[in-house]
Amino acid sequence: MNRSRSSNAWLREHVNDPYVQRARAEGYRSRASYKLLAMDDKDHLIRAGDVVVDLGAAPGGWSQVAAKRMQGRGRIIAVDLLEMVPLHGVTFVQGDFCEQEVLDVLENLLGGEKAGLVLSDMSPNISGVAACDQARGSHLAELALEFARNWLKPEGAFLVKVFQGQGFTDFLLEMRKTFNVVSARKPDASRDRSPEVYLLGRTLKE
């Protein structure tokens, strides 16, 4: 079966993407690594000795960045529905973060220790129905925010991918109710046409 024109165009774009080429040359697992690298350079999120939780981790680009920058000092726990090739210094939980049993496993691994940083690059499986995809993306962001409320240190940080559209303003308001400082980030590695934006919350409100 021949590929459709749209899939051929996507493949050409992907192969020629400078961040894809750079990731291959520099040994990163995905172009998404450069999103976190840029945001961490700006905001100094990854701190040696902290516990970092990486939600929606596969194939491991963000966990890889965190592990390199923490240099074995601290803990990284990664979660994804998809399989992830093991990374040194990263504990991986395979399962659906929407399911309570997966959350229970994650919380047991934390063992009562609060995280200094919660990352969420989770995305829904795209159906092509915009309203449905937007709602599912918002739900994932809300689940990640609820986790951050419960498991972040008071001075911790929460970085979450959200999609601009219906529900975005409501989620932004919830972020502002939760954190003292909320900022929006659009790193260069995030494609211009993509509606994704990253919200960064710092220091939980009492």
Rounded to an integer, what distance in angstroms lies between the CA atom of residue 155 and that of residue 142?
A: 20
Catalytic one of 68, 114, 161, 205? 161
- Greatest extent of the chain over all pairs of C-alpha atoms, in Å: 58
Task: State yes or no: 170 annotated in a binding site.
Answer: no
Rounded to an integer, what distance in angstroms lies between the CA atom of residue 3 and that of residue 22?
A: 26
Residue type, 176: R
Q: Which SS3 state, helix, strand or coil, does residue 184 take? A: strand
Region of 19 (left: φ > 0; alpha: ψ -120 to 50; beta: rest) is alpha
Q: Give the residue from 111, 115, 113 showing the smallest Cα distance to 55.
A: 115
Residue 54: phi and psi, rounded to 5, are -115, 105
Rounded to an integer, what distance in angstroms lies between the CA atom of residue 140 and that of residue 161?
A: 9
Task: State yes or no: 121 annotated in a binding site.
Answer: yes
CA-based torsion, 20, 23, 24, 26: positive or negative: positive
186 among known catalytic residues: no
Task: State yes or no: 104 annotated in a binding site.
Answer: no
Task: State yes or no: 133 annotated in a binding site.
Answer: no
**What are the residue numbers of the active site?**
161
Q: List residues forming the annotated binding site.
A: 60, 62, 80, 96, 121
Q: List residues forming the annotated binding site for S-adenosyl-L-methionine.
A: 60, 62, 80, 96, 121
